Amino acid sequence: MSIESAFVAISRLASGSEATYNLDATLFPDGGLRPGELIEISGESNCGKSLLCHELVARIILPTNCGGLELGAVLIDCESSYNKATLLSIMEKHILNQAEPTLASTLGDPRQLERIQLAALERLHLILCYSLEQFEFSLLALPSLFVKHSEVTFVLIDSVATFYWTKCTAKNLIRQDTYQRAHCKTLSRLACKWKKVVFLTRPSYFGSRQGSWRDFETNGSMTVGLLETGGGSTQSSSIALSEKPASSSATLTGSSLISHRIELCEMDNPSPSRVDTGASADVDDQRYNAFITTGDKRQYVRFYLIDKFGFNWLEA
């Protein structure tokens, strides 16, 4: 762990500069992520939301000589989606593809690869939640974990919508967007206070106008933790999306809370690589796209496949 001198710390704070984490240039082409930011990943079922969390975790915990950040991460799994074998496969992909030459020359020994993976896994803190009470208690316990493990820089929550129906009952009707906004406020305050980067996932219908038939009105306020508070997919073959209107979910959940949005969806049209090469479509080779809205409202689209090694980006 690197220790910053008092002089350097004071100079950095006085100049207004802050750390920037270059986690993934494909997803975050605007210069990386900054402490205090909240990133939302949305999409329909089987579009890769949980898998993308595994991808991000791998990049966070892997050492710098394997293309990672060598930082700590907390994964709060509410969907029982965590798969150690999947994470190991993704880490293997990054190690083999991005290892520095000196390290790459030693990867012929399978034990070396395993040692790198096991060392990286020690930087992952996995929290499994099976109820709303466990989830909210986990959020309240995060500050203690931050104090004990100062290397933890990222928090990933899959999914913020899991326990909605536990909170929404016949006697306590709560709108989906109200439920989500309350959690976003809690997570945003947590990220800003402790200078962490927080990711959350949600189904695209949750809290969106397209899913309003599943929603309810309420006259009361709801509480998440100790804080009281009062999506649909889009598809395009164009890469220049600077004029694409903001999604309805951005309006409902409060654009000031979410720093970046990643919307995943399936593609009906052939991917750019297949159009260019004339390759035949494969039934098992499902194509997807990711619409990315950055903190300064710029928008991009990326194309990807999903294989046994995780995300395979077709466009950068």
Report CA 126 to chain centroid distance, whole Å. Answer: 15
Q: Is position 162 within any domain?
A: yes
User: In this structure, what CATH number is given to the domain that contains residue 85?
Assistant: 3.40.50.300
Residue whose structure tokens are 């979410």: 258
Which stretch, 64-73, 176-185, 255-264, has highest mean pLDDT?
A: 64-73
Give strand pairing partners of 75. 126, 156
* Banded model confidence at residue 80, pLDDT cuts 50, 70, 90: very high
Of 67-71, 89-93, 240-244, 288-292, which gets the smallest average pLDDT? Answer: 240-244
CA–CA distance, 279 with 256 (Å, rounded to integer): 43
For residue range 131-186, what is the model confidence (pLDDT) as tens digits?
999 999 999 999 999 999 999 999 999 999 999 988 888 888 888 888 889 999 99
Domain-located, residue 276: no
Closest by Cα among 115, 71, 75 to 92: 115
Count of domains in the chain? 1
As a whole-number percent, the residues of the chain with pLDDT over 90 amount to 57
Q: Would you say the pTM of this structure is higher than 0.85?
A: no
Within a domain: 150: yes
First to last CA, the chain: 32
CA distance 153 to 24: 15
What's the rounded mean pLDDT across residues 220-235?
A: 38
- Is residue 1 a part of any domain in this protein? no
- Tokens (6 digits) for 310: 């995780």
Question: Could you tell me the residue range of the domain that residue 112 belongs to?
Answer: 32-206+259-267+286-315
* Angstrom distance (rounded) from CA 157 to CA 273: 32
pLDDT, tens digit, 9 for 90 and up, residues 105-129 = 999 898 999 999 999 999 999 999 9
pLDDT grade, residue 13 (50/70/90)? Answer: very low
**Residue 234 belongs to some domain of the structure:** no
Query: Which residues does 10 contact at the CB level (< 8 Å), separation at least 6?
Result: none
Say if 294 falls within a structural domain.
Answer: yes
